[in-house]
């Protein structure tokens, strides 16, 4: 019998802890913790994400600064705003909502965020520190997955972990976190030969490939822990993950649902990173 990993429940508990720590920070230092969110353009999904992040900040007592630039904003305008926020002492974390409109250099813009304000954990410096297992701000989704595994009491040391997907946002930092936790890690991607056999050997299987129901029952080991990062639509337009949940669940010891699994933890870890960034600055 599988156990469902309830990301909403884990998120609620962590947000309560974060709220308590934010309150103590304010009490002891007499100032707010600030997160700046920059949205360029009118992408509908991005607007929803930004609203959710602002609401989450309010929930835990973090002050949010929202900046909305039009689709026609120039590279220089966006860069100048990010540089201003980098110098603003009231801002402890900076988040530039992706994707950016065509014509804007996301890599260059993100590089302007100081490493100690990079609460998305995407900078080369933070990624490099993660690879070397040094303290850093870690990408929110993989960090949230690690928190859930920890809170569920799932042991990683010596386990065979497989990550399907090699993005800089999820796949690569996820692999590094698992490796740092003493798991033996394999990363699969679109060019991997024998992916079915590799996945079916995993004690811990993380699916972050962006393809609806890609992970099927014959790719899952009996008793495996399956973490589904995907957010897709199936043939009926229904929200689903990278894992064929109904086909896979009965082979698992633990599995995350979509929605309600990994998703709620991502914004929670953004709040956590902002708190950590503020504490480090003092």
- What positions carry a catalytic annotation? 53, 97, 120
CA angle 262, 182, 266 (to 5 degrees): 15
CA 176 – CA 31 distance, rounded (Å): 35
Token representation of residue 109:
């813009």
Q: Map residue 143 onto helix, strand or coil.
A: helix
CA 97 – CA 109 distance, rounded (Å): 11
CA 125 – CA 136 distance, rounded (Å): 9
How many angstroms separate the Cα of 215 from the Cα of each of 60, 90, 139, 248?
36, 44, 24, 8
CA 281 – CA 91 distance, rounded (Å): 11
Nearest to 136 by CA among 144, 127, 149: 127
């Amino acid at each position: 019998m599988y156990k469902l990993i309830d990301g909403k429940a884990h998120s609620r508990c962590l947000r309560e802890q974060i709220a308590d720590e934010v309150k103590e920070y304010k009490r002891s230092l007499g100032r707010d913790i600030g997160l700046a969110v920059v949205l360029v353009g009118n992408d509908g999904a991005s607007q929803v994400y930004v609203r959710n992040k602002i609401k989450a900040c309010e929930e835990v007592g973090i002050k949010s600064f929202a900046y909305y630039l039009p689709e026609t904003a120039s590279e220089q305008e966006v860069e100048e705003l990010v540089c201003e926020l980098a110098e603003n002492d009231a801002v402890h974390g900076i988040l530039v909502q992706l994707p950016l409109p065509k014509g804007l250099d996301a890599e260059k813009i993100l590089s302007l965020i100081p490493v100690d304000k990079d609460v998305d954990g995407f900078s080369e410096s933070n990624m490099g520190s993660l690879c070397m297992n040094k303290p850093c701000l870690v990408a929110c989704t993989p960090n949230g997955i690690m928190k859930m595994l920890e809170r569920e009491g799932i042991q990683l040391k010596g386990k065979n972990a497989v990550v399907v997907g090699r993005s800089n946002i999820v796949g690569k930092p996820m692999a590094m976190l698992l490796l740092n936790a003493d798991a033996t890690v394999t990363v699969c991607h679109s060019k991997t030969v024998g992916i079915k056999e590799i996945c079916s050997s995993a004690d811990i299987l993380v699916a972050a490939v962006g393809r609806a129901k890609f992970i099927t029952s014959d790719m899952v080991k009996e008793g495996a822990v399956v973490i589904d990062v995907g957010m897709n639509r199936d043939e009926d337009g229904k929200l689903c993950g990278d894992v064929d949940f109904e086909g896979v669940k009965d082979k698992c010891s633990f599995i995350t649902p979509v929605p309600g699994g990994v998703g709620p933890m991502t914004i929670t870890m953004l709040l956590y990173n902002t708190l950590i960034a503020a504490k480090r600055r003092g």
